[in-house]
A and B are shown apart, each in its own frame.
Chain A
Amino acid sequence: MKIRNIKTIISREYMTRVRKKSFLLTTFLVPVLFAAMCILPSVIMLMAKDSDKKVAVVDQSGIVMPYLADTESVDYTDYSTVPVDSMKASFESLGLDALVVISPIDSVAKTVSVSSYSAKPLTIELEEGVCSKVNDAVEDYRLAQYDISDLRQIMDSIKSDVSMSTYILGESGEEKITSSEVYMMISMVLSIIIYMFIAMFSGMVMQSVIEEKASRVVEVLVSSVKATELMFGKIIGVACVALTQFFLWIVLTLVLVGGFSAFVGFDSLMGDPAQTEQMMEMTAQMGGVDMAEMTASMQEQEGMGAVLNTLRDINWAQMIIAFVVYFALGYLLYASFFAAIGSAVENEADTNQLQMPVTVPLLLAFLIAIYAFNAPDSPVVWWGSMIPFTSPIVMLARIPFGVPMWELVLSIVLLVLTFIGCGWASAKIYKIGILMFGKKTTFKDLWKWLRQN
């Protein structure tokens, strides 16, 4: 192997890719998307605030109005003295968005009925807000009918509000507050990115091998450099593209979100800056994760303390190192497989059959990883994180939940050994495959090439 040749190959593979329009487009558009995902909820909240709903209330029961306190987005005005019909005719001209009419109390059922009138449909939020408050009023009214003294104090003392605090007992016996949702989330994000990156960029390697073979450039190339130099140069070049894209995504997202927040100045809305940053980082890494889940956890104000605690306690260094190591090794393993497959075919349409044994474990790894979000300690997940073909993805899903060092080391050693073996085998197939034209390659052929010298 000549380092100079490999360098030349890497730089061509890298430069031709990062100069492509499609690369520039995805590199710059995805952060915009990520940033939009971070910024939009806040913007929506801001916008919602600006257009408060004004609601007129005609309370014929006389018990509900005190419960209808103004909220951030709705102003209630008491028009109980005005007749319903004339209100119906005039509420719009008074600049009101809706009219809510509460009937007199039905003395038998001890309840009221509520009707609303508006030019445009009411929001669910508003409807639910009114309903729950009317229910509160009716419940309190009914309770009052029992005429029990000190009822309020009794009710207050009965009311319970229990939330669970989760502790993990560390080796030294100290207790930590954790939030398992945070672990799940990080675990999910990590395994999705690593799966996406391995699949996407190994596929790119295969495509590029096929392109060189189909255009017959390869024969000139291997007359200048060794086939193994060409294969590994290509694999490393594409890996550099992957890392560049990943890095740019994070930086650009942070810049966009940071710039936007500074410009609009609503840090307060985004909450604690440290937490915002973590969130942004996670969002930057997500790529395709359900957005509802993201915003839900962002808005989840309760338990934020625990979340922050958890985030602070996570061994970020270990996680980042593990991410880089597992991405590198997993990608190397799969990219060398895909390079071998690419070398055996003459066009992409022929790859389907040969790809099967490689895509199946990759997909399986992803499925096990999804399972690991819920059951990180199950045997399937444990074995998945050890077996080299699934370990890069499954182990990353396990890591946020804590993995003993010896398991990490064992899994990495197995992965390295497998890569060496499979890389060698792939290089052998590649060397012969790239110069084979004409007949369609079968698994039998691959096996034959593997044994040839």
Chain B
Amino acid sequence: MGLIQCNDVCKSFGEKVALDHVSVDIPKGKIFGLLGPNGAGKTTLIRIINRITIPNSGSVLFNDRPITQDDVEKIGYLPEERGLYRKMKVGDQAMYFAQLKGMSARDAARELKKWFVRFGIESWWNKKVEELSKGMAQKVQFITTVVHNPSLLILDEPFSGFDPVNAQLIREEILRLKDEGATIILSTHNMESVEELCDNIALINKSHVVITGGVDEIRRKYGNNNVELVYTGTALKPAAGVFDILSDNDDAGRHTAVLALESGYDTNKALREILLQDVTVNSFKELVPRMNDIFIKLVTEEE
């Protein structure tokens, strides 16, 4: 069952349609990738889930009932455009955001201390934000997003602005929060992290959902039954009715070939056929398209 279900959500600003009958189902306890080119309507959808914006029509269900203002306390939102009060002390600021999310002052202080220790930034508590570097401020902002232990986390480009070390730290935290049962919406242009982190995705382009579903399922769906074969021996010949050879790279006797399987997708049959020929198989790998390629294909197809 989905934690968040958007049903036929429409939103327009004046003449401009931002979302056109958008339906997505965000499963509980999973990481959901929200993809799409700039200006596709992702931010509008996120704001509707956050109740910052009210849709013109359609409904948003949270835990199977219409979302209410009280539910926003269970959401943590890290917007793409980050911002903290520059003149305010880090600790006061974190306390403020935590309290706005419904935490008592005592709970907020206790939880924040934990997070500050985990990130190794206890000494920043009394610093003003303007004294911090951009990366440091991002860490503080991440903490303010997750401190109230939200059941839904919405992260918009969470890795931007972090160096590789800190990006890895954030990645691990995201996975840890998922293990603890949080549902995470990840909006990003970084397709590698989508492949690495996301269980499901929705691709939005020009105000509507182009495709939604499990990452593996989608990748396989857009795959074209190709496999990559690395072998040594004499050059492989195509086997009629089983596979065709699209390319074969001979690198001093070590071949890397791309085979297009025919007659469905029977890899065992293909392997048997290959072994009949005079070759030694080094590797046999299903060729699944990268999310990046699927993204580009789907978005440009619509042009």
A residues with a Cβ closer than 8 A to B are 2, 4-5, 8-9, 12, 16, 211-212, 215-227, 435, 448, 452-453
Docked pose: A5 CA to B103 CA in angstroms:
11
Question: Could you name 23 residue pairs across A and B whose Cβ atoms are closer than 8 Å?
Answer: A4-B102, A8-B100, A16-B87, A16-B88, A215-B85, A216-B81, A217-B84, A219-B79, A219-B81, A220-B83, A220-B144, A221-B100, A222-B52, A223-B50, A223-B72, A223-B75, A223-B79, A224-B73, A224-B100, A226-B69, A435-B47, A452-B13, A453-B54
Docked pose: A362 CA to B88 CA in angstroms:
32
**Chain B residues with Cβ under 8 A from A8's Cβ?**
96, 99-100
Contact (Cβ within 8 A) A224 B101: yes
**Chain B residues with Cβ under 8 A from A4's Cβ?**
102
Docked pose: A220 CA to B156 CA in angstroms:
12
Number of A-B residue pairs with CB-CB distance less than 8 Å in the complex they form = 62
Main secondary structure of the interface of B (DSSP, over half): loop
Known: A215-B84, A452-B13. A220 touches B101 (CB 8 A): no
Shortest CB-to-CB span from B49 to chain A, Å, is: 10
Shortest CB-to-CB span from B15 to chain A, Å, is: 10
0/1 string, B89-119, CB within 8 A of A gives 1: 0000000110111100000000000000000
Shortest CB-to-CB span from A144 to chain B, Å, is: 81
Known: A215-B85, A448-B14. A220 touches B52 (CB 8 A): no
Shortest CB-to-CB span from A326 to chain B, Å, is: 32
With both beta carbons as reference points, the residue of chain A lying nearest to B83 in the complex is identified as A216
Main secondary structure of the interface of A (DSSP, over half): helix
**Chain A residues with Cβ under 8 A from B87's Cβ?**
16
With both beta carbons as reference points, the residue of chain A lying nearest to B81 in the complex is identified as A216
With both beta carbons as reference points, the residue of chain A lying nearest to B96 in the complex is identified as A12
* 4 tightest A-B CB contacts, nearest first: A216-B83, A223-B77, A224-B100, A217-B83
**Chain A residues with Cβ under 8 A from B82's Cβ?**
216
5 further contact pairs, Cβ within 8 A, besides A12-B96, A219-B77: A2-B69, A217-B85, A220-B77, A223-B72, A224-B73
State whether the Cβ of B297 lies closer than 8 Å to any Cβ in chain A: no
Give which listed residue, A12, A217, A219, A452, contacts B52 with CB less than 8 A.
A219
**Chain A residues with Cβ under 8 A from B13's Cβ?**
452
Docked pose: A4 CA to B99 CA in angstroms:
9
**Chain A residues with Cβ under 8 A from B75's Cβ?**
223
Docked pose: A409 CA to B69 CA in angstroms:
38
Contact (Cβ within 8 A) B100 A215: no
State whether the Cβ of B176 lies closer than 8 Å to any Cβ in chain A: no
**Chain A residues with Cβ under 8 A from B127's Cβ?**
none
